[in-house]
Amino acid sequence: MNNKQQYIEYANKTFKGKALELVLKNIELFYDPTTIECPKKYKINDKVILKKGTFLHGIPSKLENLDWIFENGFLASDFTGKSEGKNKIKNSIGMWKIKEEQTLEDYIVSYSGFTITYSIGRGPEAQNVSKLIPFHKFDEFTEKLNNDPEVWTYWGEKTKEVTFLPSLVSNKRQIAFILNMESDNAKHMAEADVWNPNLDSETLTEFLDYRYYPKFIDLRLNRDASTTDRESAIMFGLPIKLIEGILIGKEIEKDKSALQYIKTKFPKAYICNLKGRVIVE
């Protein structure tokens, strides 16, 4: 039995109705040989531009995880039998979605910062507001809050991207893939997103841990900077032919053998650093 047939059998056993339709469609698109590759041609030291709708996906820093992506693509672990059952969102692969066109440098500065939530007013009428504070702007922003008579309290946490992507403040993640989602097939696959507000709650049942389900249904329609409003969870997965570039952290940037190995595996992809610039064409 080939992998495609195995994934189809899992889908037929696991899903029904609209959920099954969406998953089977993404499996077909995953293996569709007509899916267009959209590599970006950059020269050394060029600034990388992220188009609206671009996806980023980070992996643990070991190169063997890179090998797994090369061999299998971006697949939900539930389909491969490697899931430990700890994921709040199941049967899907997590992606970070670019909301508006911007440079990679600006994007990294933004998510390497902090998420602050502050309350305007007191008591039952208080309104909470969440904002993403860029790298090294924490003191400046909190000073404004402290001097604002309408702000009663505030609290904060690191962005989720710091946990899952290479960042300016943590070396835990060293590799992330930049996926070009401009082709028609890519756009169709991106629509099968667990976070899509147009999906009815019944369709989402098999994609969510039952303990997380009620909270998710509310969050999906009321997303903010702390939720976050930048996440996507694509049903089944996405193929590696959508990769246009690879973002690496500070440690791998210094490792010439690691850079060469990455380029050997993904020869059409550029490699860029945390300054948002291309270091390998």
93 and 46, same domain (yes or no)? yes
97 and 124, same domain (yes or no)? no
> What integer pLDDT is reported at residue 84 of this predicted model?
66
Is pLDDT at 1 greater than 60 in this prediction? no
User: DSSP E strands: which ranges in the chain?
Assistant: 49-50, 55-60, 74-75, 92-97, 102-103, 114-120, 127-133, 151-158, 173-179, 231-235, 237-238, 243-248, 270-272, 278-280
Give the mean model confidence (pLDDT) for residues 78-107: 90
75, β-bridge pairs: 237
181 and 247, same domain (yes or no)? yes
153 and 60, same domain (yes or no)? no
* Nearest CA-CA partner of 3 in 27, 34, 29, 21: 27
90 and 201, same domain (yes or no)? yes
154 and 168, same domain (yes or no)? no
At 81, the pLDDT band (50, 70, 90 cuts) reads: confident
207 and 145, same domain (yes or no)? no
Is pLDDT at 107 greater than 90 in this prediction? yes
19 and 120, same domain (yes or no)? no
* Domain final position from 158, 192, 223: 158
* Domain final position from 158, 177, 192: 158
50 and 120, same domain (yes or no)? no
Is pLDDT at 165 greater than 80 in this prediction? yes
**pTM reported for the whole predicted model:** 0.93
Residue with the two structure tokens 């009663």: 152
145 and 166, same domain (yes or no)? no
At 85, the pLDDT band (50, 70, 90 cuts) reads: low
Give the mean model confidence (pLDDT) for residues 226-234: 92
Q: What is the pLDDT of residues 265-276, one digit of tens each?
A: 999 999 999 999
Give the mean model confidence (pLDDT) for residues 177-183: 96
- Percent of the chain having pLDDT more than 70? 99
Give the mean model confidence (pLDDT) for residues 61-65: 82
| Cα–chain center distance at 280 | 23
Range(s) of the domain holding residue 145: 113-158
User: Per the structure block, which two tokens stand in for 246?
Assistant: 């690879």
173 and 66, same domain (yes or no)? yes
> What integer pLDDT is reported at residue 27 of this predicted model?
98
83 and 126, same domain (yes or no)? no
At 221, the pLDDT band (50, 70, 90 cuts) reads: confident
* Domain final position from 125, 158, 191: 158
> What integer pLDDT is reported at residue 64 of this predicted model?
83
